Structure 1
């Protein structure tokens, strides 16, 4: 997917080789804008304005917004429009409680069930995570984290676990984008890389331990955020 600048407007340019739907492309663009606060919490949006900005019809915009609503990033208000949800720290703790349990199962499953090619790709993602840590590039780390979670979801081979993880990832990444500090980046990147490496090695026990360590760190981060 590419964005073509046309003055103040953006246009989603489709390639002949694209295999995902236009609604998926619109979703990915809007999700990124919400996670990185280009659309701020509490901001009102409209389908017509979004369609004009991305130069697409209202149908894919509507489908993308429905998905974003299911994931808790927007609320659709009848006859009023769409509002970007606020960030709630207490809700983030509840989210982590659930993600911790599902992710531990998913980590072990991904290590056991992923193919050789998927493990090679997970190794490459681990290298990407560690590279972002080394260069202290917060944006690159956010992109690598997104790549990890997308691939992780595929490797699990359990559509129910994958669906649960996918629905929570965007809220978690937005929270991190808002509250993280440089020292948080390094620890998070290394812990995600440890999990990716365990999966790439096909070691289910190590993957489960790495998942536990990651979520212990994330929970500590949220509690520290409450005190700031």
Structure 2
């Protein structure tokens, strides 16, 4: 970027979204932890869409060293959630509503395939885990925050992929889940009249119950209903969202008067 270099704001370290205390580095995969922490910052827009920053900034925010942060950035770039700008650091990918609505059609087809596999392959131990998550959602349906829901939603997605048992699918579906978690976070925080999480929780409850009980057709129908709900968010976002919330690098549409 030509001209005077802008000073970067001081950035606070992010906490682990799960609330768990830090674990010993010799017992964990630092790359996975750095990825999860950075992904959380993107989903919750603590790293704003369109924001430019340096690798050092991410190190300060996540508390991880250069190597795991570099690895996390590489994966997030593959996921199209970070844009690498040679000689200028990185940019958090802006939210492109038209593109992401198109990607929702891809997610619908892949999600149905994943859900079908999971319902077919769900065993007794998996059933217990699904029903436990279903119970947690029911108990907190009226009081759960978006941040709390996203932590549980990530666990649900990982379990469904594990039960589906096809490793290739994780690399395809994981970035789509992250993209739409960010969409959901923006919608719930910035759309007037948003009804909260009750509808999305109800959709997830239906999916969990159908997969747990190996009701294949019901599970795929529930998956489609969830995608339909996500699709409905885009209409209100296209009408109401300030474009600067989708890309903070945009110039303001209205310049305030001085004097």
Normalising to structure 2: TM-score of the pair? 0.78
1:188 aligns with 2:205: no
Task: Look up the SS of the partner of 1:75 in the other structure.
Answer: strand
Question: For this pair of structures, how many residues does the alignment match?
Answer: 221
CA 1:48/1:188 → structure 2, altered by over 3 Å: closer, same or farther? same
For 1:167 and 1:142, the matched residues in 2 are separated by: 14
For residue 133 of structure 1, what is the aligned residue in structure 2?
141
Superposed, which structure 2 residues align to 1:1-228 within 5 Å? Answer: 9=13, 13-15=22-24, 18=27, 20-180=28-188, 182-228=194-240
* Inter-partner Cα distance in structure 2 for 1:204 and 1:17: 41
Distance 1:102 1:53, change over 3 A: closer
- Decide whether aligned partners of structure 1 residues 215 and 10 sit closer, same or farther in structure 2, where only a CA change above 3 A counts: closer
Instruction: Judging by fraction of residues, say which structure has more strand.
Output: 1
What secondary structure sits across from 1:133 in the alignment? coil
C-alpha contact 1:44 1:82 (8 A) present in aligned 2: yes
CA distance in 1, matches of 2:122, 2:95: 34
Contact 1:192 1:214 in 2 (8 A): yes
Give the superposition deviation at 1:9.
Answer: 4.9
Distance 1:208 1:55, change over 3 A: closer
Provide closer, same or farther for how the CA distance between residues 10 and 219 of structure 1 changes in structure 2, counting only shifts above 3 A. closer
Q: Which runs of 5+ in 1 are unaligned?
A: 1-6
Name the CA shift for 1:90/1:131 in 2 (closer, same or farther; >3 Å). Answer: farther
Partner SS for 1:134: coil
